[in-house]
Amino acid sequence: MASIPPTPPPPDVPLGPQMCPHARSFADWCDTLVSAATAKNDLVSLNQAKLLLIDRYFMWRVNVPVRHQVFPRPTSVHVCIFAVFESAYRRLQDAILALGPSPLVHPPYPAPPPPPAPMYETVNGIVVGETLDKDFEP
Ligand SMILES: [Zn+2]
């Protein structure tokens, strides 16, 4: 059985001036998303941001010209939306990993609330005092 080679990390091409206009506006949106999520720095916010990023990337992708939809890797002359997506995803993933291992099971359910106190008092099994409920029957 052939082993699967590890995925090489993306090249560290700066996302600066080589960004095409589509990537630039996507990068602005990504920066806002990542900044807000990393400022909260909790697992739920970061995971929500990651899901939103993925959804938004694919929505963005179908709305740019075909040439920009299939642009695989950043180059020194063209950094496109996938590179921006990948960079934002990595920043979110790094923040998630910095919080420690993710739980593998749901947290336990909270204990149910205690039953309501009876509306009457008993002494040796005999109801004493007044009841607040007109239809009370011991
Ligand atoms: Zn592009």
Find the 49 Cα to ligand 1 centroid distance in Å: 23
Among 77-81, 86-90, 133-137, name the one with the lowest average pLDDT.
Answer: 133-137
Provide φ and ψ at 19, rounded to 5°: -65, 135
**Domain extents in the chain:** 21-98
Indicate if the pLDDT at residue 10 is higher than 70.
no
Q: Which residues are near ligand 1, the ion (C-beta closer than 5 Å)?
A: 20, 68, 80
Distance 23 CA to ligand 1 centre (A): 6
User: Separation of 111 CA from ligand 1 center, angstroms?
Assistant: 53
Q: Which residues pair with 17 in a beta bridge?
A: none
Residue 46 has pLDDT above 90, yes or no: yes
pLDDT reported for residue 36: 97
The one-letter code for the residue type at 120 is: Y
- Are 23 and 80 contacting, i.e. CB atoms less than 8 angstroms apart? yes
Residue 60: pLDDT above 80?
yes
pLDDT in tens, 96-129: 999 998 888 888 999 999 988 777 777 887 877 6
Task: Tell me how far the alpha carbon of residue 33 lies from the centroid of ligand 1, in angstroms.
Answer: 20
CB within 8 Å of 22: residues ≥ 6 apart: 60, 64, 65, 68, 80, 81
